[in-house]
């Protein structure tokens, strides 16, 4: 498909947009694009088109595209950081929980809401790795490519983030035991 675009078939690029649009939006959203998600994705696809000359034949298109989405998300967040209050931007580091999850009890929903805020409290670098690995289901190599870091860094940040979340959960249990 990429080579069709390169040989002048612009319509083929629209097929790539349709094929990868949803994952691009999800990526921008879980990396913190918030209300700018649609704009970020549109911009990323235009930049991807312009950069298509440097795409290596035979490489995976999706992580290559998602890296551009991730960079564009960072750009948007920097701009937004100047525009809106920190707290407002902070609340959208991860998308909200869906209202339509029916098999969750109120308690489980609250538990998950608390867990969502724990993930958002992670240091930025760890949160991004967690988002790629667990919310986008990317493997280590893809995560490394998308975030522009080494696989070793992905591994160590994942490890630290999971350890931190485990500590947070343990603290939460103790609190509940203590107060109850």
Partner 1 sequence: MAESRQLPEEEDAVLARLARLSAALAVDPAPDELAAVVRDRIRTLPVPAPRSPMGEGVARLTDRLRRHWRVATAVAVALLLGLLAVSPAGARIAQWLGIAGIQIVQESAPPESDARGGQPDPASADGFREIGLDQARTLVSFPLGLPGELGPPTRVLIGPGDDVVSMVWADGDPTNPDGPIRLDQLAGTPDPAVIKKYFADVEFAELGGHDAYWLRAPHPLVYTDSSGVEHTERSRIAGPTLIWQDGPVTLRLEGVGTEQRALQIARTLG
User: Which positions lie near partner 1, rule CB under 8 A?
Assistant: 3, 5-8, 10-11, 13-14, 17-18, 21-22, 24-26, 29-30, 37-38, 41-43, 45-47, 49-54, 56-57, 67-68, 71-72, 74-75, 78-79, 94-99, 101, 104, 111-112, 115-116, 119, 130, 134-135, 137, 147-150, 162-163, 165-166, 169-170
Q: In whole angstroms, how close is the CB of 139 to partner 1 at the nearest point? A: 15
Calculate the CA dihedral of residues 134, 24, 100, 166 and round it to 10 degrees.
20
Q: State the nearest-atom distance from the C-beta of 179 to partner 1, in Å.
A: 20
Distance, C-alpha 103 to centroid of its chain: 25
Distance (Å, rounded) from C-alpha 22 to C-alpha 148? 22
Closer residue to partner 1, CB minimum distance, 107 or 180: 107
Nearest-approach distance from CB 144 to partner 1, in angstroms: 8
Residue 47 exposed, middle or buried by CB count within 10 Å (0-12, 13-18, 19+) = middle
CA distances 71 to 40, 63, 96, Å, are 9, 12, 22
| 124-163 residues labelled b (16+ CB within 10 A) or e (exposed) | eebbbbbbbbebbebebebbbbbbeeeeebbeebbebbee
Tell me how far, at minimum, the Cβ of 81 lies from partner 1, in Å: 9
Looking at the Cβ atoms of 46 and 89, the one nearer to partner 1 is 46
CB nearer partner 1, residue 56 or residue 86: 56
Report whether 81 contacts 54 (CB < 8 A): no
Q: How far is the CB of 3 from partner 1 (least distance, A)?
A: 7
Nearer to partner 1, 87 or 137 (CB): 137
Q: Which is nearer to partner 1, 102 or 179 (CB)?
A: 102
Distance in angstroms (rounded) separating the CA atoms of residues 50 and 143 = 23
């Amino acid at each position: 498909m990429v080579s069709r675009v390169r040989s002048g078939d612009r319509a083929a690029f629209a097929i790539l947009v349709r094929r990868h649009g949803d994952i691009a939006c999800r990526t921008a959203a879980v990396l913190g694009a918030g209300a700018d998600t649609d704009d970020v994705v549109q911009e990323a696809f235009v930049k991807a088109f312009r950069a298509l000359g440097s795409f290596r034949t035979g490489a995976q298109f999706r992580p290559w595209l998602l890296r551009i989405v991730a960079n564009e998300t960072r750009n948007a967040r920097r701009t937004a950081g100047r525009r809106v209050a920190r707290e407002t931007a902070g609340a959208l580091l991860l998308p909200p929980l869906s209202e339509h999850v029916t098999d969750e009890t109120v308690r489980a929903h609250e538990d998950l809401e608390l867990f969502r805020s724990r993930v958002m409290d992670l240091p930025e670098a760890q949160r991004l790795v967690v988002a790629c690995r667990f919310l986008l289901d990317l493997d280590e190599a893809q995560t490394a490519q998308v975030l522009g870091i080494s696989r070793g860094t992905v591994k160590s940040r994942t490890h630290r983030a999971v350890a931190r979340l485990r500590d947070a959960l343990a603290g939460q249990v103790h609190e509940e035991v203590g107060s109850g």
